[in-house]
Amino acid sequence: MKVNFWLLDVNQEVVDGLPEIRIWGLNENGKRILLIDKNFKPYFYVLPKKEEDVNILAEKIKSELPDVVNVLVEEKKYFGKLVKAIKVILKTLEKIEYNVKNLTKNPLVKEILHDDLRYSSLYLIEQELKPCGWHKVEAEKTSLNQPIKVDEVYLVKGKPEAYEKLDLPPLKLLAFSAIYHTKIGSPNPDRDPILVISTVNNNGETKVFEAKNSNDKGLIEEFVGYIQSFDPDVIVGYNSNRVDWSYLLQRSKKNGVKLSVDRIGEEPHTSVYGHVSVVGRLNIDLLDLAEDFPEVKVKTLENFASFLGIKEEPPTKILETEIHRYWEDKEKRSLLVKFCEYRAMLTKKVSDFMLNFVFQLANLIGIPADFVCAAAVGFRVDWYLIRKALAFGELVPKRVEQSFYPYKGGMVLEPKPGLHEDIAVLDFSAMYPNLMVKYNLSPDTYLKPEEKIEEFYVAPEVNHRFRKEPPGFYKQVLLELMEARKNIQKQMAKLKSENQIYRILDARQRSIKVITNATYGYCGWRGARWFVSEVAEATAAWGRKTIMEAISLAKKHGLEVIYGDTDSVFVKYDEKKIERFLEDVRGSIGLEIRPEVVYRRILFTEAKKRYAGLLPDGRIDVVGLEVARGDWCEAAKQVQEKVLEMVLREVKPEKAVEYVKNYTEKLRSGVSELEPFIIWKTITKPVRDYQVKAPHVEAAKKLIRAGWNLTVGDKVGYVIVKGEGKLYEKAVPYLMAKPEQLDTNYYVENQIIPAALRILEMFGVKKEQLGSLKSKDLTRFFG
DNA sequence: GCAAATATCCTACCG
DNA sequence: ACCGGTAGGATATTTGCG
C-alpha cells in the first residue's frame, strides 16, 4: 500500500545486529506513523592512489575485508575531476571503523570518503527525503514488540517520493519552562530540586507541576506522564539543550525516575551540535534561533520575545537571586508559579513566530528540524552542499582543518564627515553570489597555476584563474537557489500577506536567502568541506573591482559620492542622474544595483561603518554607533539617540548640548536604579586565559566565586562602583551592586559624554560644555 | 622616575 | 565552529626627557 507522510524526525537503530532507519511522521489524516526501512546498507568510498589499481583494490576489499556485501567501481567527480571510486557496501555499522582503519594503512589507497557522514543523514540524502516535507512510499503494515507511541507502524518496501504540498499536518506542540531552587549562584542538580515546570500546548492549555516540600520526584513523574499522554510532536524550550534537559536528566537519576519522554520510552540523549535528541519528536531550543538575530543583544527569552513584537509583561518581575525567597514564602509562592507559567507562555508565542522558518530551513537543508536549529551557519551550508554534491555525482570531501592565510576583503570608502541632505544609498543586490555565478567561482573550477587551458577568467589583483566551462558546483547551486527564490516571490505576489500559504512561502524564501548569502563566507571558512581559499579571495577581489567601477561611473554621471562599503555607494540624491547611472551600471558592469533608501539627512563622523540617517518616514537609522552596540550602557545609548534626534530632525545641536549637560548634572547627584547602567560583555574564553585584567572578566570571576556557572559565550552584566584603583577593580556584577554605590563620575565621563560627544564634536562642541570635569588643562593644574 | 606615546588586547559592529 | 574591515575602550609596554 502507498503511505503518505510528513517527515518529522529520523533515527537509526540496530536490530539483531542489522541497521535500520526509522522515519517518524504524520500522515494526511493526522495520524502519527513510524516507517521502518531495512533496505539501506551502510557504505563508504575508497579512492585508489593510481586509477589502474582500482579493480585489484576492489577485489582485495571484497575478498579480504569482513562484512562487505558488495563492491562497485563507480565513475564519480571529486572537486570536479573525474575519478574512479570504489563503493564498499557493508552489512552492519559495526565494522565500518575497523575496515576504514585497515584500508587507511593500505598503500594502494589514497583516501576514504563518506565514512564520516551519519548513516541516517546519508539515508535522507540518498533517498531524497526532505524533513518537514510530504512524501509517499510503498509500505506494508507491521508491528513491533516494543511499545511505541504511534498510531501505525510500517515496513518500507520501495523508495519514498516527495510531493509538493505546503500545508503542515496538525502538529501537537508543547512549550515548557522550568524553575530551579538555589540559594547561592546557579542551581546545581546535585543539590537543588526543580521547583516548578509549566507547560503550554498549542490548544492554549496550561499545566503546572510543582515540587512537594522541595521534593521533585513527583513533579518529574507527573511531567513525564503528561508528555506521554499529550504526546507532542514538537517540544519547545528556551535554553533547553544546554540547561533544562540535562538538569531534568540528573534530577531524574537522583530520584530514581526514568525520564522517558520520547516515543520509544527512552531518555533524551545529547547528539551532534550540542542538540538534545528526543526520539520521535522534535526538540527545539528557541535560544539556538535567537542566535540568528544580532539585534537581540542579551539573549534572554524576554528580550527575544520583545524583539519579535510579543508585548507581554510578566505578572511579577523575579530575579534569579530571588527565586528561593519566593518559593519559601508560602504567600509569594503562587507568584513564582505564575512567573513560570508566563515563561512557558512566552516560549510558546516565540515558537509561533519561528516554527514556519524552522520547518522551511530544515526542508531546504535536508536535515531534521531540531538538528538544523542547533547547527551553526557553516554546518547548515555544509549539509545543503552535501545533498547537492550527491545529486551532482560529486564525492563529499572530509572536514579537515585547513592551513589558512588571511586575504583581502571588501572595500570601505572614507566617508565625507558632517551633515548631508538627501543622500541615496544604492547597492548591488547579492553582490558576492552574483559574482560567483558570473565568473564561475567554485572549488571545482579553480585552475592551479600549472594547469593550462584556453578559456578562463582571471580575478583582478590576485590573478586566480577559473575555467569558464562547465558551470561549477557553486554556480549551479547558487543559480538554483536564486531561481527558486524568485519563483517563490512570484507565487507570493499572487497571495495576501495574511494567508497561511503566503507565510510558509515567505519562510521558505527567507531560508533560501540565508543560505545564498552565507555561501561566500562559507567558501572562505577553513572548516568548510569545499574550502578553497582562492575562491573566497577572488570573489572579494572582484567585489572590490566592481564597487570601484561603480564609484567611477557615479562620478562620471555627476553624482557626488559620500561613502561606500563593500557593495554600496552613498550619493547625493538626483533622480535623473541616478536613473542614468543605474542604467549604465547594468549595461557596463552587468550586475544589478538598486536604490535602497534615500535619507532625508545623514550624519557621518570621520569613522567608517558608523553613521546615522533620518529616514523618509521620520525614523532614525543608527549604524555602527554606540546606539547600535550591546556593550554600552542603556543610559549612554539613550542619550546618544536623543542627541541624534535633535541633530537630524531639528538640526539643533545647541539644544542637544543643553540636554546632555542637564542629564550629566542630574546623573552626578546619584541614581535610584542600576538597570540603565549595566554594561554587558561576552566572555569569549575561559577566564584564566585572558592576558589582561579586563573589567568584564573581573566581574565574571566574582560571579564564578559566588557559585554561578559561567561558560564561554555567556554575557556578563556589570556596573562600575565608587572606589579606589583601576577600573577593573571597580567592576561588579549588577546582581551584587546597589544603586547608591554607582560611580556616577565614571558614567558621566566614560559613557554618557563619549557617546554624546561622538555626535556633537562634529559641531565643534567640547566635552566641558556637556558637563565634563576632566580636561587636560585642568589636570595639569590640579593633578 | 614619571607621564606621554604607542602597542596590544578585547569586543562588537558593518556588509 | 561563516569572511575581512573597522572602531574604540582599557590595559600593558615602551619611549622621551638631562
3 state SS for A206-245: EEEEECECCECHHHHHHHHHHHHHHCCCEEEECCHHHHHH
Strand B nucleotides within a 7 Å radius of protein CB atoms: 4, 8-15
**CA–CA gap between residue A43 and residue A136 (Å, rounded):** 25
A46 touches A33 (CB < 8 A)? no
Instruction: Report if CB A676 to strand C is under 7 Å.
Output: no
Q: Distance from residue A550 (CA) to nucleotide B6 (C1'), in Å?
A: 38
Q: Distance from residue A677 (CA) to nucleotide B9 (C1'), in Å?
A: 24
C-alpha distances (whole Å) from A313 to each of A203, A318, A428 are 21, 12, 42
**Residue A776's pLDDT is what?**
52
Q: Distance from residue A605 (CA) to nucleotide B14 (C1'), in Å?
A: 15
Q: Where are the beta strands (DSSP E) in A468-592?
A: 561-564, 568-572
Instruction: Report if CB A493 to strand C is under 7 Å.
Output: no
Beta strands A593-604 and A611-614, pairing class:
antiparallel
Instruction: Please tell me whether the overall predicted TM-score, pTM, comes out greater than 0.85 for this model.
Output: yes
**CA–CA gap between residue A571 and residue A555 (Å, rounded):** 9
Q: Enumerate residues 6+ apart whose C-beta is below 8 A from A778.
A: none
Cell of residue A208, nine digits: 503546572
Buried b (16+ CB within 10 A) or exposed e, A165-186: eeeebebbbbbbbbbbbbeebb
A477 touches A515 (CB < 8 A)? no
**CA–CA gap between residue A214 and residue A210 (Å, rounded):** 9
Q: Enumerate residues 6+ apart whose C-beta is below 8 A from A140.
A: A1, A154, A155, A157
Instruction: Report if CB A754 to strand C is under 7 Å.
Output: yes
**CA–CA gap between residue A511 and residue A360 (Å, rounded):** 7
Longest CA–CA separation in chain A, Å: 94
Instruction: Report if CB A409 to strand B is under 7 Å.
Output: yes
A442 touches A436 (CB < 8 A)? yes
Q: Enumerate residues 6+ apart whose C-beta is below 8 A from A695.
A: A679, A681, A718, A720, A727, A728, A730, A731
Cell of residue A426, nine digits: 544604492
- Percent helix, strand and coil across chain A, each to the nearest 5: 40, 25, 35
**Complete edge-to-edge strand list for the sheet that includes strand A109-113:** A68-78, A81-90, A43-48, A109-113
Q: Distance from residue A559 (CA) to nucleotide B6 (C1'), in Å?
A: 40
**Residue A779's pLDDT is what?**
43
Neighbour count for residue A635 (Cβ, 10 Å): 20
Q: Distance from residue A679 (CA) to nucleotide C12 (C1'), in Å?
A: 23
Strand C nucleotides within a 7 Å radius of protein CB atoms: 1-12
**CA–CA gap between residue A357 and residue A330 (Å, rounded):** 43
Is cis: bond before A470, omega within 30 of 0?
Answer: yes
Nearest to A503 by CA among A708, A639, A353: A353
Q: Distance from residue A91 (CA) to nucleotide B4 (C1'), in Å?
A: 74
Residue A225 C-alpha from the chain's centroid: 33
| CA–C1' nearest nucleotide, residue A427 | B15
Nearest residue for C2, CA–C1': A521
Q: Distance from residue A597 (CA) to nucleotide B13 (C1'), in Å?
A: 21
Instruction: Report if CB A378 to strand C is under 7 Å.
Output: yes
Which stretches of chain A drop beneath a pLDDT of 50?
Answer: 777-783
**Residue A775's pLDDT is what?**
64
Instruction: Report if CB A408 to strand B is under 7 Å.
Output: no
What A716-721 contacts at long range (C-beta under 8 Å, 24+ apart), as own/partner pairs, is A716/A680, A716/A681, A716/A682, A716/A683, A717/A298, A717/A678, A717/A679, A717/A680, A718/A678, A718/A679, A718/A681, A719/A674, A719/A677, A719/A678, A719/A679, A720/A677, A720/A679, A720/A695, A720/A746, A720/A747
Instruction: Report if CB A272 to strand B is under 7 Å.
Output: no
Instruction: Report if CB A693 to strand C is under 7 Å.
Output: yes
| CA–C1' nearest nucleotide, residue A730 | C10
Instruction: Report if CB A688 to strand B is under 7 Å.
Output: no
**CA–CA gap between residue A590 and residue A119 (Å, rounded):** 44
Q: Distance from residue A700 (CA) to nucleotide B1 (C1'), in Å?
A: 35
Instruction: Report if CB A634 to strand B is under 7 Å.
Output: no
**CA–CA gap between residue A647 and residue A653 (Å, rounded):** 5
Q: Distance from residue A777 (CA) to nucleotide B4 (C1'), in Å?
A: 15
**Residue A621's pLDDT is what?**
97
| CA–C1' nearest nucleotide, residue A292 | C2
Instruction: Report if CB A690 to strand C is under 7 Å.
Output: no
Instruction: Report if CB A525 to strand C is under 7 Å.
Output: yes
Q: Which residue has the cell 520583545?
A: A306
**CA–CA gap between residue A243 and residue A397 (Å, rounded):** 34
Nearest to A446 by CA among A537, A542, A540: A537
**CA–CA gap between residue A351 and residue A155 (Å, rounded):** 33
Alpha helices in A589-718 (DSSP H): 634-650, 653-668, 695-705
Residues 700-739 of A with CB under 7 A from strand C: 726-728
A112: enclosing H helix or E strand: strand A109-113
**CA–CA gap between residue A202 and residue A311 (Å, rounded):** 19
C-alpha distances (whole Å) from A468 to each of A2, A252, A446 are 46, 61, 10
Instruction: Report if CB A410 to strand B is under 7 Å.
Output: yes
| CA–C1' nearest nucleotide, residue A406 | C4
| CA–C1' nearest nucleotide, residue A428 | B15
Q: Distance from residue A372 (CA) to nucleotide B12 (C1'), in Å?
A: 26
Nearest to A103 by CA among A40, A45, A153: A45
| CA–C1' nearest nucleotide, residue A527 | C1
DSSP SS3 for A318: coil
**CA–CA gap between residue A452 and residue A474 (Å, rounded):** 22
**CA–CA gap between residue A381 and residue A359 (Å, rounded):** 16
**Residue A590's pLDDT is what?**
93
Nearest residue for B15, CA–C1': A566
Crossing angle between the packed helical segments A377-391 and A473-493, to the nearest 10 degrees: 100
Instruction: Report if CB A45 to strand C is under 7 Å.
Output: no
A182 touches A188 (CB < 8 A)? yes
Give the type of residue at A225: G
| CA–C1' nearest nucleotide, residue A414 | C6
Instruction: Report if CB A628 to strand B is under 7 Å.
Output: yes
